[in-house]
Structure 1
């Protein structure tokens, strides 16, 4: 009988990993992500435990929804544990995944080039890139037939929700059903409608069983025009005193979306003043320095540009009109570490405003930490959060304590005062909001009989559970 085990994204929003048992001896794994902050697998592992802590004997294949680290970060450990089956993902994800895994190995495992190459070669030998909206048979060892289909999820480039169609001649169908087959859908991370660059996700025709993310199950997002306006207003306010605006952002997805929106703001506001230097010189939008300090982000941006055929129609029109939404002249990319340190030092003493986008998105590592150590104590500067901050991360601590007397955050065992202005624009989350999640279910022609809510804090899951039950009284909603 069909069953699902959840090995991550149960006690929070990270570590996504779910196992679909199509019979008693065979299963397919969906994602194998890294835990971040205070979150764990729920089986006793802490966020620093990367080893695979569940039995792999039944796993025949892995399907990757997208390449964010909380969905693929434990993939090297899965390979090391002996997994040799096919690894399915979309074609854009297949282009991005090696960059993510290489960086994860360098940061968390080893910088030995031979070991990294061996892992990437092994990954390449098992990787099976798939087109969207095509059925692929998953090889199994008996008469149970399983097909997999990827559909655009609108979260980052290459992201997908996954449909498994299982037909086992009665063996795999849940008790009491008469369907010829059983469709199980894993949402992965769903994007908000009208996200920059990406087509909005469309619901599947049917889902007999659904595993649904719930990151923002307790709130809705602003619409695209409103959040872009808020981004512009936040930046204008932040830049008015010649300070630096720090934007922590994941190297893949969020950074490219921000570049896209910044290019539009500059294009729409040419020759309009936004700030002035301490000496009184007025600066227009097109004069503002935009610094991307992440070698990984620059590599991802190159791949994003090479995959422009997967962009949405709006983005394609901008390119056709001669604009370059991911490579405009105000952008400076910093690659090497020495230049990074020089830039941090320069911004401590600079006299003109700048915008810095650097990883990681939750301030739990990466180059953003050096900027925060150097600039968070200066009231001229601003810290602008545009994404979710998980419990136990420095980003969550900054949001919690920035407006408290003598508020501070800890980095590497030291206290750093928070005097910079801190803002959050939740509308720029790459995740679907509450109404978007409900609409994902509502727009299915055949509604799920059972829904598993994962990838969310407890409050978000409980609120979303209540709303789903209200709108779908025949559906069983479980919170693992």
Structure 2
């Protein structure tokens, strides 16, 4: 048995791992897109998009979840000749075509008929696997079966348990995918597997710990009140799936809790929480939010209680969805000049494209506004530059033009959809039969080293290894 890494080994994007059997057949886990500096000097260099590994041995592709850095190279895998099944959870099976349709429009073609032909092929290949059920991938000796378990990262996310039978022995390899943080809105917490001889573990936040949910809620409330007092906009660059729905859920909770409470603006005029407008300006995020609502049977107990109380966590009164590009342009202009307090959630999450860029161009140089980061910003992205240099009065280049950062810049790490260092170590420690090896992937070099050192200090009975 051998594990080969075709992405997310030197960084945090492009997740793609291959479990090789002794007879040469294999299982591919994820096939993601490289982003930021990891995509190459031109943003999406051709050599980083191409599938350079052999596809003939691959018996199945299993997807941990549908974020683009885990599924974005799937069209290239098909173009390289892959003809096998695409295995994923039922929720991922519903959401995957939405992600790939958007990726095809951005990276391939605007030809609707061609896109539909590709999506038709994808739908034929998708095989939805319920959580907790074993599925045979390779029969006989050697043999391989897999099982998906909830990962708590986004709706439908899973970690993959692989039982490998070779020469009379059995090895269980677990691929974590992206693990969610405990108490993530809408989703049940991930539970450690009952066994893992080898654990391939993400390490995105292996070097830090997040704020707890109560602390981040306080900070979010303060940011909303700042927007009210400044009559400005809080701009949140957010990933279309996962982070956006969590933010809407939390904002609905704050509005429900503080409904009618007064806030004085800078001129002494009285406003209330009812005056703040929540704007979701992303057609893709709106589609995913509708998908989350359709799949509310998978929500956690707290979210289901809100629904039972007659509340609508993802479709509340103050939420406005912007669809058409002409409406988007009008919204940017209105919020930039009107003095109406608002919170705008717009993609892309790393400010590398999408509608958020137009908001940034209109608002970065105005101190009335706030930029709020709630997720990881990869090196080489505008989001990383704003996050790093903005608080010091720096600047960022957007579409070839320099924009000085006069808006306030904030980061709420507690809204990350990734487990932090403590969560990752707890996940390892909760495995009843400790793994003999933990292989750290999907993290910057410093995060991997920090997680390895922390695990060794705790004396966990395993070997930490950085590929």
Shorter chain as denominator, the TM-score bin is: over 0.9
- 1:24: Cα distance to partner? 4.0
- 1:274 and 1:284 in contact (8 A); partners too: yes
Whether 1:413 aligns to 2:400 is yes
- 1:146 and 1:164 in contact (8 A); partners too: yes
- 1:48: Cα distance to partner? 7.5
Residue from 140, 153, 156 that aligns with 1:155: 153
Unpaired segments of 5 or more residues in structure 1?
A: 171-179
2:290 alignment partner in structure 1: 302
Paired with 2:106 and 2:22, the residues of 1 have a C-alpha distance of 38
Paired with 2:367 and 2:199, the residues of 1 have a C-alpha distance of 47
- 1:35 and 1:48 in contact (8 A); partners too: no
1:175-324 pair list within 5 angstroms: 180-276=169-265, 281-324=269-312
1:12 alignment partner in structure 2: 11
1:108 alignment partner in structure 2: 107
Whether 1:464 aligns to 2:451 is yes
Q: Deviations along 1:205-253, whole A, 9 cap, x unmatched?
A: 0000000000110111121112111211222224321111100000111
> TM-score by structure 1 length?
0.94
1:418-433 pair list within 5 angstroms: 418-433=405-420
Moved more, 384-393 or 224-233: 224-233
Paired with 2:401 and 2:214, the residues of 1 have a C-alpha distance of 40
Paired with 1:264 and 1:209, the residues of 2 have a C-alpha distance of 40
Whether 1:360 aligns to 2:348 is yes
- 1:47: Cα distance to partner? 8.0
CA distance 1:447–1:40, change in 2 (3 Å):
farther
Paired with 1:462 and 1:373, the residues of 2 have a C-alpha distance of 37
- 2:135 and 2:147 in contact (8 A); partners too: yes
Paired with 1:473 and 1:99, the residues of 2 have a C-alpha distance of 41
Q: Deviations along 1:331-384, whole A, 9 cap, x unmatched?
A: 000001010011111112112211100001110111000000111110110000
Residue from 424, 431, 436 that aligns with 1:444: 431
The DSSP-based 3-state class of the residue aligned with 1:181 is: strand
1:173 alignment partner in structure 2: none
- 1:18 and 1:31 in contact (8 A); partners too: yes
2:141 alignment partner in structure 1: 143
- 2:396 and 2:403 in contact (8 A); partners too: yes
Paired with 2:459 and 2:62, the residues of 1 have a C-alpha distance of 28
Paired with 1:112 and 1:242, the residues of 2 have a C-alpha distance of 42
> TM-score by structure 2 length?
0.96
Paired with 1:275 and 1:246, the residues of 2 have a C-alpha distance of 21
- 1:108: Cα distance to partner? 1.1
- 1:274: Cα distance to partner? 3.5
Q: CA RMSD in A?
A: 1.5
Whether 1:374 aligns to 2:372 is no
- 1:36 and 1:47 in contact (8 A); partners too: no
1:476 alignment partner in structure 2: 463
The DSSP-based 3-state class of the residue aligned with 2:48 is: coil
Q: Deviations along 1:61-87, whole A, 9 cap, x unmatched?
A: 100000000000111111111101111
CA distance 1:277–1:114, change in 2 (3 Å):
farther
- 1:474: Cα distance to partner? 4.1
- 1:269: Cα distance to partner? 0.6
- 1:139: Cα distance to partner? 3.6
CA distance 1:235–1:88, change in 2 (3 Å):
same
- 1:40: Cα distance to partner? 4.8
Paired with 1:339 and 1:275, the residues of 2 have a C-alpha distance of 30
Q: Deviations along 1:415-469, whole A, 9 cap, x unmatched?
A: 1111100000001000001100000000000111111101111111001011222
- 1:194 and 1:224 in contact (8 A); partners too: yes
CA distance 1:199–1:340, change in 2 (3 Å):
same
CA distance 1:18–1:329, change in 2 (3 Å):
same
Structure 1 residue ranges, 4+ long, deviating more than 6 angstroms after superposition: none
2:380 alignment partner in structure 1: 392
Paired with 2:262 and 2:95, the residues of 1 have a C-alpha distance of 38
- 1:240 and 1:275 in contact (8 A); partners too: yes
Paired with 1:221 and 1:236, the residues of 2 have a C-alpha distance of 23
1:174 alignment partner in structure 2: none
- 1:386 and 1:425 in contact (8 A); partners too: yes
Q: Deviations along 1:136-170, whole A, 9 cap, x unmatched?
A: 11145x52221110000000000000000111234
